[in-house]
Amino acid sequence: MANLSQLKFAMATSIFLSAFIFALLVLIIVSFLDLDPFISLAVVLGGSALFILFQYAIGPAVVAATARLHYLKPGENPWLESTVKELADKTGIPMPKLATVPNNTPNAFTFGRTTSSATLAVHDGLLRQLNQDEIRGVIAHELGHIKHKDYIVMTVLSALPLIAYMIAQVTLRAGMISGGGGRRNKDNSGAALLVIGGISFAIYIITFLIVMRLSRLREHFADAFSAYLTGSPRSLESALAKITYGLSISPKPPEGARAFYIEDPGMAKQEIQQIMQKKNQYDLDQDGVLDERELEIAMEREAKSTWAQMNSLFTTHPPTFKRILLLREIEQEMDTGRYTSEKVYAHV
C-alpha cells in the first residue's frame, strides 16, 4: 500500500543515488588523470551544480518556446478556466497559468520552476478529441504533478545523466584522438580517457534508469490523484486510451520534453504498432476491427511480454494497460464505498 510519503522517499532516494554515483564518477576522473583532488572536485562539482541551476533556470523558457504556447487571456476559454480553477481549489494549489498548444495530437503537460509559477498546457487536439469528463481527468492528472512537484524534481534530476553522457562523449573522442595516428602515447593519457569515457557511459545508463523509474512511478501517483480528485477513474481510463491511439496515428515524430507529457508520443506509437502487427491474433471475431474488448486483451498481453517489460525500463511512462488497470482497481474500490482520502495511493 503506497502513500505520498513513499513518492517523496522515492524522489529523495533517486536524487541521492544519482548524486552518489555521479560523485564516484568525479572521483574516478580525478584518480585516473592524477589531478589535484581538491581543485578537481571543486571544478567538476561546481560546474555540475551550475549546469543544473542553469537547466532549472532556463528549462521553462525553452519548453515554452519549443512548444509554441499560446497563453490564454481571461475569458478566452471559460469552460477550461473554470474547470482548472475548480480542481485547483479542490487540490489546494494556486491556479496555474493556462496555455494551449497548436498541435492536433491529444496531449497535455505541466512545467515551471515553482508551484505558484507552474503552467498547465493542453494541445488543441486534446480539447477536440476528448469529451469534457475525459479532459477533467487529464487536468486532474496534471494538477497531481504540480501538487507532487514532479516537474521540478525531474528537471533537476535529469541533468545528472545528461552531464555523465556529455563527459562520456568528450572523453571517448579525446581518447581516440590521443591514441590515434599510429603513435604510442607515452603517458597513456589516451587509454585513461577511453577508460573514463567507458565508465562515464556506464554511469549515464545507471543514472538514466534511476530517472526513468522515478518518471514511471510519478505517472502512477498522478493517475491515482486524478481518480480521487474527480471521483471518476473511468474518465481518465477513457482519456488514456484515446490519447494513446491518437498519438500513435500522428504522422509527426515525437518532439520536446516527452517525460512531461501525460503520454509519451513515441511510446504510444510503439504500443499500438506492436498490437497491429498481431492484429489477426487479437481479432477474435475476425471482423477486421479490434473492438474495445479485443484491444484491452491485446494491451494486457503485450504489457506482460518479456520484451515489453525489458523495454519499459527505458521508458518515461508505464504501459497504458498498466495505468488503466490501476484506475480500474481504484474504481472497484470506489464502488464498494470504502474509498477515502487516506487511501488515494493505496493501489500504486
DSSP state of 143: H
Place of cell 512548444: 67
CB 74: neighbour CB atoms within 10 A? 8
Q: Where do runs of H (alpha helix) occur along the chain?
A: 4-33, 37-67, 78-91, 124-129, 132-148, 150-157, 159-178, 189-230, 233-248, 265-277, 279-282, 292-304, 306-311, 320-336
**H/E segment holding residue 169:** helix 159-178
3-state secondary structure of 118: coil
- CB half-sphere exposure, 274, CA atoms < 13 A: 19
What residues contact residue 33 under an 8 Å CB cut-off, 6+ apart?
40, 189, 192, 196
β-bridge mates for residue 111, sequence order: 119
Go through the chain and tell me how many residues it has.
348
DSSP state of 314: G
β-bridge mates for residue 245, sequence order: none
Name the pairing type of β-strands 119-123 and 97-101. parallel
d(CA 328, CA 235): 11
CB 25: neighbour CB atoms within 10 A? 24
Catalytic-residue membership of 142: yes
Torsion sign (Cα): 84, 90, 95, 97: negative
Annotated catalytic residue within 76, 81, 86, 142: 142
Point out the residues that are catalytic: 142
